[in-house]
Amino acid sequence: MRSNNNGASDTFPSKRKHGSQQGQTKRKTWRWQTCVICSCAQTSFFMSSSNASVFSINRRTALTSCAMSLSGLAMRGLLHAEATSQASSESGRRRFDMKPRDAHFRPKARAVIQLFQNGGPSQMDLFDPKPELDRQAGKPHPGEVETFQLGNKNIIFPTQFEIKPHGQCGMNFGSPLPHMASLADQWCMIRSMYTVNNNHPFAISMFQSGKPFFGYPALGSWITYGLGSENQDLPGYIVLRDPAGYNTSGKAVWSSGWMPALYQGTEFNSGGNAVHYLHPSQKRAAGAQKRSLELLSRLNRKHAEMHPGELELDARIQNFELAARMQLAAGDILDV
């Protein structure tokens, strides 16, 4: 594919059919549904409600845009899952559930624990030594400096802790992290991540979803959607937040965005009941709760049979059934 001077792009040629003349090819443009564009493409491709539901874009533009966002990481898997389910399912659409799915490669890890410590010390005091910063300490910063808070002064502030290499790899750690420093050869530190947004809520959203604004699925939601969970009686995505309160982005940090709520983070409390409303407020006869949940499940399934192909309805039913299974299985597990 190539671009001409006015910005238009030629699309990839389709496969040549038998019997076609030598040198002649056919070209076609991919047609993408609106939901795919909104999930992976850049802002320039967002559609208003007045636009058509289907429109044409060329292949290079779509793939380039997808590669620039976190959603694009799951693009291949989403398309593969859609194609697979279309061949094996009568409805031709994937069902939203938490059943475990095979990864593209054999994994070494059974689970992922992400420690997101919003508001921690600067990386210049923990991992990233800045010797020139120390040499220029107390001096005005050369050139123009853009400030974002009233009362800031143009004075260079040095690193407050000693930072030195540790382990055979020579990874740098600050003095406040002696235990992490002792395990230097077991860490993988990524230094290439950054954001141009200095506003805390939007920077947090950028870290969690790959987008600086809210409404997109968090990384944990994508993992749960793609891999499912080995335990069908507990959520696949669990959140243990700071007991002191929420951060500046609130619950949006573990939101499933426009995906079904089945894939959002389930918040467990650090004190009292781990999950609110897990059990009835009033004591009931033995087996009554289980029978009530079974009846509710049958009614939901009957309603789903009357509305085939409603994926959002099916996802809500899956969410309710997960909550029901938690009532029966989570009590002992959460008693820690």
- Per-residue pLDDT of 87-97, as tens digits, reads 444 445 556 77
298 contacts: CB under 8 Å, gap ≥ 6: none
In eight-state DSSP terms, residue 125 is G
Cross-strand partners of 27: 13
How far is it between the farthest Cα atoms of the chain?
80
The pLDDT score that the predictor gives to residue 217 is 92
pLDDT at site 172: 95
**Phi/psi at 186 (5° precision):** -105, -5
Terminal-residue alpha carbon distance, the chain = 59
Give the per-residue pLDDT at 289. Answer: 72
Q: Which DSSP string do the residues of 218-287 spell out, in sequence order?
A: -HHHHHHHHH--S-TTS-SSEEE--TT---TTGGGGG--TTS-GGGSPEEE-SSS-SSTTSS-SS---TT
Question: Do the Cβ atoms of 293 and 327 come closer than 8 Å?
Answer: yes
Q: How far is Cα 39 from Cα 44, in angstroms, rounded to an integer?
A: 13
Extract the tokens encoding 291: 């029978």
pLDDT the model gives residue 174: 93
Entry field: residues in the chain? 336
DSSP E strands: which ranges in 46-189? 54-56, 163-166, 171-174
- pTM, rounded to two decimals: 0.56
Q: Please identify every stretch of the chain with a pLDDT value under 50, giving residue numbers as ranges.
A: 1-55, 67-78, 80-91
CA torsion, ordered 116, 121, 122, 123, to nearest 10 deg: -60
